[in-house]
Structure 1
Amino acid sequence: MLDWLQGAKKFTKLDCKDVYNQVWIKGGDEWKTAFRTRFGLFEYLAMPFGLTNAPATFQAFIDKALREFLDITCVVYLDDILIFSKDESDHEAYVQQVLTALQRYNLYLKISKCSFNTIEVDFLRFRINTEGIFMDPERICAVEEWLPPQDIHQLQVFLGFANFFPRFIKNYSQIAAPLLNLLKTGKNKKEIGVKVRQTNVVPAPFPLSKTALEVFKAVKEAFTSALLLRYFDENKPMRVKTDASAFAIGGILTQQFEIDGYLHWLPVAYYSKKLLDTETRYGTSEQELLAIVEAMHHWWHYC
């Protein structure tokens, strides 16, 4: 989605108000949303939060409302709309077109969350500017202040957060692999649906060992040192570098960009993957080849 922003000079971010509640339920289908209270049975007239298909329904609705402009002057994800222009003089007209379309479909905005005519904006947990994409500084601060996990659940929360940003971190899977392996500790057959005695449970190594704490700190440092990623430009040459280790593979997609009159190969995206148990038994040549295949498959849409 964000690849469409290549070359953009101005941005405007819009945020829809009440999101799902702006979509009316089809007449005759209200009974499907009924819920019981001590005062009786109630039915929703507008789509509530919590319905399984609510996100997909709203996405289809707003895509229909903005179908003329999608991936041309704006990108949309649920209630977040980003309008962009490669020519600053056109930006106001693009914003007016999108606002008119939203008005036509009776979609309202939350003005306090909107940003107009800027060169840098926060969108979908990323900070976006005219040069490229980088992680939201607030997310980086959250990682810096993150305390070492004390149990499996806290470790899952941390890794779940980290797994949202692997494209910004070189060899993320290799760095985080020891922590990912800890998730296997403490699992037993009962947890995956097989009846066994409780004595088969293997306790997880908490608090974290010195080695695990060093890995935890390394992951945090990787976040704080993450680089700006450039937008992919189909008109520029591209280069893919791959590497493989004993338990992970990775790759980096770079393109040539001119800085101060000199051409530099700068990162567009990173890719990494933890090897499966069977893949760890591959020979070095096979693992190197696997890294190439996986990287090309991951970035096939750029080829």
Structure 2
Amino acid sequence: MKKASKNLQASQELQKQWHDQKAVLVQYQPGPKVWVLEPVAPRALQDKWSGSHIIVEKKGEVTYLVDLGTARSPLRVLHVNRLKPYYDRADLTLLMATDEGQEEESEPLPGLFSSTEQDALVEGVVLADCLTAEQKDHCINLLGQFSELFSTVPGTTSWCKHTIDTGDSLPVKSKTCRQPDHVRDCIKQEVQKMLELGVVEHFESPWASAVVLVPKPHSKDGKKEMRFCVDYRGLNQVTETDAHPIPRADELIDTLASAKYLSTFDLTAGYWQIKLSEDAKAKTAFSIIGGHYQFTVMPFGLKNAPDTFQRLVNTVLQGLEAFSAAYLDDIAVFSSSWDDHLVHLWKVLEALQKAGLTIKASKCQIGQGKVVYLGHLVGGEQIAPLQGKIQTIIDWVPPTTQTQVRAFLGLTGYYRRFIKNYGSIAAPLNDLTSKKMPKKVLWTAGCQKAFEELKQAMCSAPVLKSPCYSKKFIVQTDASELGVGAVLSQLNSEGQDHPVAFISRRLTPREKRWSAIEREAFAMVWALKKLRPYLFGTHFIVQTDHKPLLWLKLLRLGRPISRGRFFTSVYVSSCVLGLAPGFQEAIPAPILVQCYTLYFVPNSDSVLLQFSQESPLCFQLDPQERVLCM
């Protein structure tokens, strides 16, 4: 405890020293008039200066007793930061003669934002078109309080430093590659810019990595722009791994989709806002013709750079997780009402400013109903793929190598939640990427069919609905000779079935040899396990188009269920088992609506499967035979 208290005190002193860098001691004597910064009711985030008021007494080092002259609370203790001197206007009128037709521009009052300054402040920040004029004014006033936060120059945070642990490894040195003349000139220009920003510095180090230029995906004015990169593959091989978790993209997308108001922020060269430790600087060294340099801030391409950056963002947003999310430098704020959104924005911006970070205004979107986040269009309880990515998939030519096949599967696989039975459709293409297959693929008619089906599926991809946990989920499962799949859906306000997510996977060679009922049973259990984040603790319906699966409800007493091994690891709550629509005509209604519950037994792989109290049937796991018996 003593050590913890000592570290806490040292940390507090360090933070106070950081925040007091620009602090100036301001003192007032009793008697003079002052302006008072007061909140405008009922808007807690909007303040205004009122005056004049008189200082009555100094209460503390930074607090004063002020006479506000109001009947309800005439005297109030205020912090010095909410006061500023009030100067009476001189009783003098000046007349100035000007030439006819000549007008002079009036200057704004000191201490206040003019409309021109406010427009310049938010220039580049995208305000939602659906916002009213009053709501836009709220945004401008809010951003005006954090004007120093928006900059094209990377900030510098003191909250963390990046370290590179290479153990006892010897320094890694890569040879300098010969570059074309125009590329060499681009490299020199980029290095000069980084020298001016203080990002790199001259240094002789035993470590050295090669420099490469990578074309940027989006170039301006049709000109091909290049990105300065350092090849740290040799350094990364000898670097110890940092296991800090990175958030799941699908979880963040589901969280944002249900919000009514969304705002996104992108940090200005986020990695460059984190300093390197002294030992790590030398390890980031790189060589070009005419010099040897090292980074002073965390560069792109390091093995543990994403982990360090995510740790910083998590620390900055600690306590704000209920309305903010961050995937590396992509920060999002989500709210269900406008008033809450203003409060949430203020808290997030304040946290970023305290950390010494800066935001790129041109990549900020405020008060949007839908935003582009992690390659998806989310908001308004909907999730959709980006049209630009869909067009890229449509324009994709048939691949000829394994690398091209993997690239196509990587892009379509990122949107697999929009494609029903993706695993079965893409199975022929996945087979081409096997190590046993040649590098130059053998493109068959089956591969072309799968290629076209994936394109068509992306063209007709449905808009998914964000999950609502107060409504009942519906799980529809299916199995084929190639794979298994399921659809998670919910009923909308009109009673129509709307998909929430599609899941699928292809079967292994061993699983393909199973019988049809085993594949269908496996599809059901695999889907319940895969959809556990949605289904756990909720009531849901499971539908299947395989009629023999109703053996779960028709078994006689004492008869073992050999295929019950599939159900020994299901961890959900309660559900209704029935046939999918279109397959229910031949089944008695009482069987279709019969309920059962799956109970998880802690610290074991066993599960209890029993019908509801209205049914006399009960299934449970035999611990010796590892089968479900009645």
- Report the TM-score, using the length of structure 2 for normalisation: 0.43
Counterpart CA distance in 2 for 1:175 and 1:155 is 14
Amino acid paired to 1:204: V
Q: Which residue of 2 aligns with 1:114?
A: 364
How far did 1:287 drift? 0.8
How far did 1:83 drift? 0.9
- SS at 2:340 equivalent: helix
How big is each residue's C-alpha offset from its partner over 1:157-195, in whole Å with a ceiling of 9 and x where there is no partner?
Answer: 1111111111111111111112212223x736xxxxxxx
How far did 1:254 drift? 1.0
- SS at 2:496 equivalent: strand
Report 1 or 2 for greater relative contact order, CA contacts < 8 Å, sequence distance ≥ 6.
1
Amino acid paired to 2:344: Y
Q: Which residue of 2 aligns with 1:233?
A: 468
Counterpart CA distance in 2 for 1:145 and 1:165 is 16
1:55-204 correspondence runs (5 A): 55-70=306-321, 72-184=322-434, 187=436, 204=441
CA contact 1:187–1:202 (8 Å) conserved in 2: no
1:276 equivalent in alignment to 2:475: no
Counterpart CA distance in 1 for 2:280 and 2:387 is 44
Q: Which residue of 1 aligns with 2:84?
A: none
Q: Which residue of 1 aligns with 2:448?
A: 213
How big is each residue's C-alpha offset from its partner over 1:195-234, in whole Å with a ceiling of 9 and x where there is no partner?
Answer: xxxxxx69631xx333422221110010111111111111
Cα distance change on mapping 1:38 and 1:137 into 2, 3 Å: closer
Amino acid paired to 1:209: T
CA contact 1:6–1:233 (8 Å) conserved in 2: no
1:289 equivalent in alignment to 2:521: yes
Instruction: Give RMSD over aligned pairs.
Output: 1.9
Amino acid paired to 1:223: M
CA contact 1:236–1:255 (8 Å) conserved in 2: yes
Counterpart CA distance in 2 for 1:150 and 1:3 is 36
Amino acid paired to 1:279: E
How far did 1:39 drift? 5.3
How far did 1:52 drift? 0.3
Q: How many residues in Structure 1 have an aligned counterpart in Structure 2? A: 284
- SS at 1:221 equivalent: helix
Counterpart CA distance in 2 for 1:40 and 1:211 is 55
How far did 1:295 drift? 1.0
Counterpart CA distance in 1 for 2:487 and 2:375 is 22
How big is each residue's C-alpha offset from its partner over 1:131-177, in whole Å with a ceiling of 9 and x where there is no partner?
Answer: 21110111111111111112222112111111111111111111111
Q: Which residue of 2 aligns with 1:266?
A: 498
How far did 1:40 drift? 5.9
Counterpart CA distance in 2 for 1:111 and 1:230 is 31
Amino acid paired to 2:501: A
After TM superposition, the structure 1 stretch with the greater mean CA deviation from structure 2, 35-44 or 277-286, is 35-44
Q: Which residue of 1 aligns with 2:272?
A: 21
- Deviating beyond 6 angstroms after TM superposition, the runs of 4 or more aligned structure 1 residues are none
Counterpart CA distance in 2 for 1:210 and 1:6 is 39
- SS at 1:163 equivalent: helix
How big is each residue's C-alpha offset from its partner over 1:114-143, in whole Å with a ceiling of 9 and x where there is no partner?
Answer: 111111110000001212111011111111
Cα distance change on mapping 1:63 and 1:280 into 2, 3 Å: same
Counterpart CA distance in 2 for 1:202 and 1:103 is 51
Aligned pair partner of 1:245 in 475, 480, 486: 480
Counterpart CA distance in 1 for 2:301 and 2:256 is 32
Counterpart CA distance in 1 for 2:362 and 2:257 is 27
Amino acid paired to 2:524: I
- Report the TM-score, using the length of structure 1 for normalisation: 0.88
Counterpart CA distance in 2 for 1:83 and 1:4 is 11
Q: Which residue of 2 aligns with 1:31?
A: 282
CA contact 2:384–2:462 (8 Å) conserved in 1: yes
Amino acid paired to 1:187: K
Counterpart CA distance in 2 for 1:76 and 1:203 is 40
Counterpart CA distance in 2 for 1:214 and 1:27 is 56
CA contact 2:285–2:292 (8 Å) conserved in 1: yes
Cα distance change on mapping 1:238 and 1:151 into 2, 3 Å: same
- SS at 1:24 equivalent: strand
Provide the identity percentage: 34
- SS at 2:500 equivalent: strand
Q: Which residue of 2 aligns with 1:193?
A: none
- SS at 2:339 equivalent: helix
Counterpart CA distance in 2 for 1:232 and 1:203 is 43
Counterpart CA distance in 1 for 2:399 and 2:348 is 45
How far did 1:94 drift? 1.3
CA contact 2:258–2:379 (8 Å) conserved in 1: no
How far did 1:36 drift? 4.8
Amino acid paired to 1:56: D
How far did 1:91 drift? 1.3
How far did 1:50 drift? 1.0
How far did 1:31 drift? 3.0
CA contact 2:268–2:359 (8 Å) conserved in 1: yes
- SS at 1:90 equivalent: helix
Q: Which residue of 1 aligns with 2:167?
A: none
Counterpart CA distance in 1 for 2:441 and 2:393 is 23
CA contact 2:257–2:378 (8 Å) conserved in 1: no
How far did 1:37 drift? 5.2
CA contact 1:13–1:82 (8 Å) conserved in 2: yes
Amino acid paired to 2:436: K
How far did 1:6 drift? 5.3
Counterpart CA distance in 1 for 2:258 and 2:480 is 36
Counterpart CA distance in 2 for 1:8 and 1:42 is 46
Amino acid paired to 1:270: F
How big is each residue's C-alpha offset from its partner over 1:258-303, in whole Å with a ceiling of 9 and x where there is no partner?
Answer: 1xxx222211111000111111111111111111121111111221
- Note the residue ranges of structure 1 that are not aligned, 5 or more in a row: 189-200
Counterpart CA distance in 1 for 2:369 and 2:465 is 15
Q: Which residue of 2 aligns with 1:300?
A: 532
Q: Which residue of 2 aligns with 1:223?
A: 458
